[in-house]
Structure 1
Amino acid sequence: MPEIPGAKPVPLPQLTRAADRLTFVYLEHCVVHRDANAITARDARGTVHIPAATLGALLLGPGTSVSQQAMVLLAESGSTAVWVGEHGVRYYAHGRTLTQSSRLLERQAELVTNRNSRLRVARQMYAMRFPGEDVSGLTMQQLRGREGARVRRLYRSHAERTGVEWDRRDYDTTDFEGGSPVNQALSAANTSLYGVVHAVIVALGCAPGLGFVHTGHIRSFVYDIADLYKADITLPIAFDIAARGASDIGAETRRAVRDAMKDGKFLETCVRDIQTLLTPDEDIEEYGPESFEDVVMLWDYNGRNVAGGVSYEE
């Protein structure tokens, strides 16, 4: 039998874990191609090489042209490709998971489709933002109210710290420059955060659309997880950028978010938090023994799985 033409997929065991990857790389006004197992970006200044297997998210800004082979490599490496506008307001694509197992995905679906377990996970998400406080008996309405008060306090605190005038969070995705400098910086920072969180969720094999607090959007779970980190990452960065009077708010904000994440601790935290929320009583490795087994089972009504690829003729 002749071989299938084209580059062979990168073997899963050779890929870098989500927790050990680069967070994101933003490119604009360049040609993106492939050289062996590296993504290349070429413009008038020259060419840079980016190892695809170590990349979490590649943000493709205005003026980028990407080849089919570059996209194949990104997808097979489990990296997320995100096409963004001039100020980063759109998400379009992602790569494959870094595991063959659907264990976390099935657990996520099980938890989100049961009202009691969904509330339990949502409470746990809020509890992570209120350390030392007991939120186990609060309703969703009470949790939302407490979270709203916390965020307003954070906005006021950073405004006083930096001297930036603050009224409220106000933005229009179709008119980035119509917002105040701090609102522009918040939008740019959140876009970068969403891209990285989305890359982690996809790499672990979870569903970006199955949220516990957010619902009805293809990235509901992305917003759930990203909200855990805004107080420590995007809020202080946005107010600092606005206070400096940056000439290019979007670019400087992205660089500041990248610098805040470059030590690798954020990815480790994000992976650990997702696994803890979905499997609090289990010690799950990102690559468990079954992760690389390319085995498809058939569901049986009696609660067991049976082997696929078998003829079950009566």
Structure 2
Amino acid sequence: MAKEAKKRLFIKVTRENLPQVKDKYPFLYLERGRLEIDDSSVKWIDCENNVVRIPAAVINTLLLGPGTSITHEAVKVLAAANCNVCWVGEDSLLFYAAGQSPTSDSRNLRSQMLLAADKKKSLEVARRMFAMRFPQEDLTGKSLKEMMGMEGHRVRALYKDLADKYKVGWKGRSYKPGKMEMSDVTNQVLTSANAALYGILTSSVYSLGYSPHIGFIHSGSPLPFIYDLADLYKKDLCIDLAFALTLEMGGRYNKHTVSEAFRSRVVAIDLLDRIAKDIQHVLYGD
């Protein structure tokens, strides 16, 4: 006599009963453990066999670091809860890949593609992005190349001003892929914070039904739309943080300090709410 199939408790999740992206907790970083399910609940088992229930429906992104594994069933439940998964380096120092959750329709993606394909409209989107960083400037009639030149001057001046403010030596942005430890502490924090920001933005863009691959300023890179958006938030979340922590850590990189400080800033500015509103603004205006 065949054994009776094990009954499973699986509550169907619909978009109507899920929190919106802006209402979710931004991210949870995990390393050295395994994600499984118990009925329809996602659980995390760490390297010391501690079990933690993951409230997937209210988390925007799971950042999976080294030593993590995930079961097929866990991926299914996370996708149903619209909780995105990104694979990153230790403490999010590097961003490797993201899992795309299915969205209800392709309306936003089609709209994004139409804007990017129209040169005039694409430039208008780029101009709105730059206007958020140059609120006092009249950008009417300026080309993309001119605005990118302005942005380069702004960022270099920002590095210099913050170095003077926090009394930190600064020789310029430096990063060698796979050799982050060869950079100075300020550059290490910048690299770490940037990678974590890319992970959050990528998962948010997917959750909202847009594509990270269709950009308006950056091109020739894997995630141009993510890099476009990241520049709106890097000043406070990444650059100021890097110089402030260099002074606080006394020149010695501490990954736990960086991770906690970055997370605190993300929550303080309500980043997920801002992302949803800013994408709406830069794509379609007011």
Does the alignment reach a TM-score above 0.5? yes
How big is the shift at 1:86?
2.5
Q: Give distance in 2, aligned partners of 1:179 and 1:38.
A: 41
Q: 2:31 aligns with which of 28, 33, 45?
A: 28
Over the matched positions of the two proteins, sequence identity in percent amounts to: 36
SS in 1 for 2:240: helix
Query: Cα–Cα, structure 1 residues 37 and 167, in superposed 2: closer, same or farther, change >3 Å?
Result: farther
How big is the shift at 1:101?
2.9
Contact conserved, 1:22 with 1:264, CA < 8 A, in 2?
no
Higher helix content, 1 or 2? 2
1:237 alignment partner in structure 2: 241
- 231-240 vs 206-215, which deviates more? 231-240
Q: 2:174 aligns with which of 170, 188, 210?
A: 170
Contact conserved, 2:128 with 2:285, CA < 8 A, in 1?
no
- Give ranges in structure 2 of 5+ residues lacking alignment: 1-6
How big is the shift at 1:147?
0.5
Q: How many residues align?
A: 276
- 261-270 vs 217-226, which deviates more? 261-270
How big is the shift at 1:45?
6.6
Contact conserved, 2:64 with 2:87, CA < 8 A, in 1?
yes
2:95 alignment partner in structure 1: 90
Contact conserved, 1:57 with 1:199, CA < 8 A, in 2?
yes
How big is the shift at 1:241?
1.7
Per-residue Cα deviation, 1:106-135 (whole angstroms, up to 9, x for no partner): 111001011111111111110110112211
2:189 alignment partner in structure 1: 185
Q: Give distance in 2, aligned partners of 1:212 and 1:9.
A: 37
1:157 alignment partner in structure 2: 161
1:285 alignment partner in structure 2: none
Q: Give distance in 2, aligned partners of 1:45 and 1:237.
A: 34
Q: Give distance in 1, aligned partners of 2:49 and 2:83.
A: 25
How big is the shift at 1:84?
1.3
Query: Cα–Cα, structure 1 residues 221 and 258, in superposed 2: closer, same or farther, change >3 Å?
Result: same
Per-residue Cα deviation, 1:213-261 (whole angstroms, up to 9, x for no partner): 0113331101111110101211111112221227553332222111112
Contact conserved, 2:98 with 2:202, CA < 8 A, in 1?
no
1:219 aligns with 2:223: yes
Please give the root-mean-square deviation of Cα atoms over the aligned residues, in Å: 2.0
Query: Cα–Cα, structure 1 residues 157 and 119, in superposed 2: closer, same or farther, change >3 Å?
Result: same
Contact conserved, 2:61 with 2:200, CA < 8 A, in 1?
yes
